[in-house]
């Protein structure tokens, strides 16, 4: 019975005036031009399902999974409807009605367990470390792979020899006088695939007077589980992370992953109805800052080195719209001498990643990515910077598909490089 479930409130769908402003900013509508692929259409479907006019079938909920959760519709709606949030809540309703065992296994027993994730991704590190990947590229063997598998391989960055969680000390002392004591939230993808970037983040923080505490027991921020309707698992993961950083006794919690940051900043909202955790969660979320947001809020040492390159920037949806952080990464890049910054056309347009859309909605994801890579080609940059591992992996696919001579990096990588010179 729907009455027994936690479901969206009426004000989340009743006030839609069907003005159509959301159509202009929705990447899935732009590609399909069908009402069901639009935020407005998803709101209408959700309303009819919640009011009993339509069965809450797998087909209806699939329309909610087709949403990229890029938040553009939330931002533009003139009456405050948040279609992207509603799509996530409808996924959660379906999971309450028909829970799927694989989601518990994946989002409860694998992803939040760092040791298990390290074991599961070990073959990828072997593939890189033994030179197999280099040989595959040198011999052109990637061309023999089916298209989807070839693109999934292209997503992979240069993989570290071992996860950063194993290599990074729990306490990194400030390089000079300690001015700040910050916690560093090391995300799953950052530890497993982008270790060099997060190591650079810690170095830059330490160089700028931060003693950095990186709890080794940190678990997944919870966004993958949230995307697939398992809000119960997100709350479990939130409680673990909150307790860890409380013990660390830090003033600020910094992350260099846009997706993690957006989720961590929502812990207060996720646990607002939990009397034992509401206050603690709110206090935690108020401390969370993206690395660029934090660095541009302190007296940041100007790097003395130069990076002679043309650089553009892609806005991760969950950084620009989820957190309102978009000026700071650009300001950070423009501090670097020698760097020519060029604005990317439609920089805040979704790249098509949305976590797992390249896997679950392959054709649509590629169509959205093609729009992004067309804009990237026009920028004629040497580097495209972005502060989200999902976006970086998706951009890697676009760069390799189109044969662009562009490197995908985190902004902090270029800043760290300028400090070293």
Q: Place 3 in a pLDDT band, splitting at 50, 70 and 90.
A: low
Give the C-alpha separation, 67 to 69, whole Å: 5
Length of the chain equals 421
Q: Nearest Cα to 305, choosing from 340, 335, 341, 343?
A: 335
- For residue 11, the model assigns a pLDDT of 85
Q: Mean of the pLDDT values across residues 70-98? A: 95
Q: Place 98 in a pLDDT band, splitting at 50, 70 and 90.
A: confident
Q: At what angle do helices 411-420 and 327-334 cross, to 10 degrees?
A: 20
Query: Within a domain: residue 144?
Result: no
Give the C-alpha separation, 333 to 340, whole Å: 9
Question: Domain of 75: which CATH number?
Answer: 1.10.1060.10
For the chain, what is the mean pLDDT? 95
CB 378 within 8 A of CB 343: no
Distances (CA, A) of 134 to 190, 256, 419: 22, 28, 30
Q: Indicate if the pLDDT at residue 278 is higher than 80.
A: yes
Q: Which of 97, 114, 144 lies at the terminal end of a domain, its last residue?
A: 97
CB neighbourhood size of 157 (10 A): 18
Query: Within a domain: residue 214?
Result: no
CB neighbourhood size of 289 (10 A): 22
> CB neighbours of 137 closer than 8 A, spacing ≥ 6?
none
168 DSSP 8-state letter: S
Residue with tokens 């909150």: 242
Q: Nearest Cα to 71, choosing from 260, 282, 354?
A: 354
Query: Within a domain: residue 80?
Result: yes
Query: Within a domain: residue 347?
Result: yes
Q: Which of 97, 112, 137 lies at the terminal end of a domain, its last residue?
A: 97
Question: Domain of 400: which CATH number?
Answer: 3.40.50.1860
SS3 state at 250: coil
**pTM beyond cutoff 0.85:** yes
Q: Mean of the pLDDT values across residues 297-314? A: 97
Query: Within a domain: residue 244?
Result: no
- For residue 56, the model assigns a pLDDT of 83
CB neighbourhood size of 91 (10 A): 21
Query: How many domains, in total, are found in the chain?
Result: 2
Q: Which of 69, 97, 125 lies at the terminal end of a domain, its last residue?
A: 97
Residue with tokens 């189109």: 402
Query: Within a domain: residue 126?
Result: no
Give the C-alpha separation, 331 to 328, whole Å: 5
Q: Which residue has the higher pLDDT, 98 or 329?
A: 329
- For residue 353, the model assigns a pLDDT of 96
Give the C-alpha separation, 124 to 241, whole Å: 27
Query: Within a domain: residue 168?
Result: no
Phi–psi pair at 409, nearest 5 degrees: -140, 165
**pLDDT tens profile 232-276:** 999 999 999 999 999 999 999 999 999 999 999 999 999 999 999
Query: Within a domain: residue 46?
Result: yes
CB 318 within 8 A of CB 354: no
213 DSSP 8-state letter: E
Q: Indicate if the pLDDT at residue 90 is higher than 80.
A: yes
Say which range, 4-8, 44-48, 105-109, 416-420, has the weakest mean pLDDT. Answer: 4-8
- For residue 4, the model assigns a pLDDT of 58
Q: Mean of the pLDDT values across residues 25-39? A: 96
| Domain span including residue 92 | 2-97
Q: Indicate if the pLDDT at residue 5 is higher than 70.
A: no
Q: Indicate if the pLDDT at residue 421 is higher than 90.
A: no
């Amino acid at each position: 019975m729907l009455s027994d479930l936690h479901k969206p409130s009426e004000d989340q769908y009743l006030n839609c005036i069907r003005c159509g402003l959301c159509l202009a900013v929705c990447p899935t509508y732009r590609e399909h031009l069908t009402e069901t692929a639009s935020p407005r259409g998803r709101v209408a479907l959700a309303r009819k399902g919640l009011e009993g006019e339509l069965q809450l079938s797998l087909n209806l909920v699939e329309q909610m999974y087709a949403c990229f959760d890029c938040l553009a519709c939330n931002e533009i709606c003139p009456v405050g409807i948040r279609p992207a949030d509603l799509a996530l809540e409808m996924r959660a309703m379906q999971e309450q009605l028909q829970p799927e065992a694989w989601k518990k296994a994946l989002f409860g027993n694998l992803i939040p367990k760092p040791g298990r994730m390290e074991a599961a991704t070990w073959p990828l590190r072997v593939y890189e470390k033994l030179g197999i990947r280099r040989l595959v590229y040198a011999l052109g063997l990637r061309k023999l792979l089916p298209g989807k598998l070839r693109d999934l391989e292209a997503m992979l960055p240069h993989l570290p020899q071992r996860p950063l969680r194993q290599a990074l000390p729990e306490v990194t002392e400030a390089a000079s006088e300690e001015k700040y004591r910050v916690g560093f939230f090391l995300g799953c993808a950052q530890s497993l695939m982008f270790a060099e970037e997060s190591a650079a983040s810690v170095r830059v923080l330490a160089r700028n007077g931060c003693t950095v505490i990186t709890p080794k027991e940190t678990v997944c921020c919870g966004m993958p589980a949230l995307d697939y309707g398992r809000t119960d698992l997100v709350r479990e993961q939130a409680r673990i992370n909150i307790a860890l950083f409380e013990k660390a006794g830090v003033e600020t919690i910094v992350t260099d992953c846009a997706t993690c940051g957006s989720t961590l900043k929502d812990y207060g909202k996720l646990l607002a109805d939990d009397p034992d955790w509401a206050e603690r969660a709110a206090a935690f979320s108020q401390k969370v800052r993206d690395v660029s947001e934090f660095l541009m809020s302190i007296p940041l040492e100007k790097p003395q080195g130069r990076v002679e390159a043309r650089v553009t920037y892609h806005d991760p949806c969950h950084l620009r719209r989820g957190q309102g952080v978009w000026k700071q990464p650009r300001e950070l890049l423009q501090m670097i001498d020698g760097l020519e910054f060029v604005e990317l056309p439609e920089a805040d347009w979704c790249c098509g990643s949305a976590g797992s859309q390249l896997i679950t909605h392959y054709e649509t994801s590629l169509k959205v990515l093609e729009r992004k890579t067309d804009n990237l080609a026009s920028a004629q940059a040497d580097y495209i910077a972005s502060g989200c591992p999902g976006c970086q992996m998706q951009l890697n696919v676009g760069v390799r598909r189109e044969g662009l001579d562009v490197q995908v990096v985190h902004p902090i990588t270029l800043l760290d490089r300028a400090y070293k010179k």
